[in-house]
């Protein structure tokens, strides 16, 4: 059974930082793409960043230069380091996994929630000015 559990969310002031974690299990024997998405009530869930099995990373434009996705294989944990946070970053952040398919993540144009089959429950990030 694939399980993803996010943690690390919270409230910070604009300009602050947070490090989100996603504890993963049940996928070690499968090639995988791991990703972070975020969603604000009333809006569609959008991609933040992804990392392939080979370590290749991709970021949405708004995240480039501020956010960093990484993975600790020994701990089976996915991370999202978020710096220079702004109020518009306020959202529920979700960890997602895509298994098989050579472990490659979708390209930017195909970075949709429907491409990922497994999800965590989410962790809330709130940024105040």
| One pLDDT digit (tens) per residue for the chain, 129 residues | 899 999 999 999 999 999 999 999 987 667 889 999 999 999 999 999 999 988 999 999 988 899 999 999 888 999 999 999 999 999 999 999 999 888 899 998 899 999 999 999 999 999 999
pLDDT at 10 (0 to 100): 98
Task: Provide the 3-class DSSP secondary structure of residue 89.
Answer: helix
pLDDT at 108 (0 to 100): 85
Greatest CA separation for the chain: 44
Task: Name the nearest CA neighbour of 89 among 57, 70, 63.
Answer: 63
**C-beta neighbour count of 108 within 10 angstroms:** 12
pLDDT at 100 (0 to 100): 85
DSSP 43: S
pLDDT at 29 (0 to 100): 67
d(CA 96, CA 11): 22
């Amino acid at each position: 059974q694939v399980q993803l559990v996010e943690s690390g969310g919270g409230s910070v002031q604009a300009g602050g930082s947070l490090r989100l974690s996603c504890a993963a299990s049940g996928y070690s024997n499968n090639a995988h793409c791991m990703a972070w998405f975020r969603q604000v009530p009333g809006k569609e869930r959008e991609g933040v960043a992804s990392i392939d099995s080979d370590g290749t990373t991709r970021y949405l434009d708004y995240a480039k230069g501020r956010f960093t996705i990484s993975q600790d294989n020994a701990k089976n944990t996915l991370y999202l380091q978020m710096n220079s946070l702004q109020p518009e970053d306020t959202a529920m952040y979700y960890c997602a996994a895509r298994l098989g398919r050579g472990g490659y993540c979708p390209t930017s144009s195909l970075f949709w929630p429907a491409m990922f089959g497994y999800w965590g429950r989410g962790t809330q990030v709130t940024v105040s000015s």
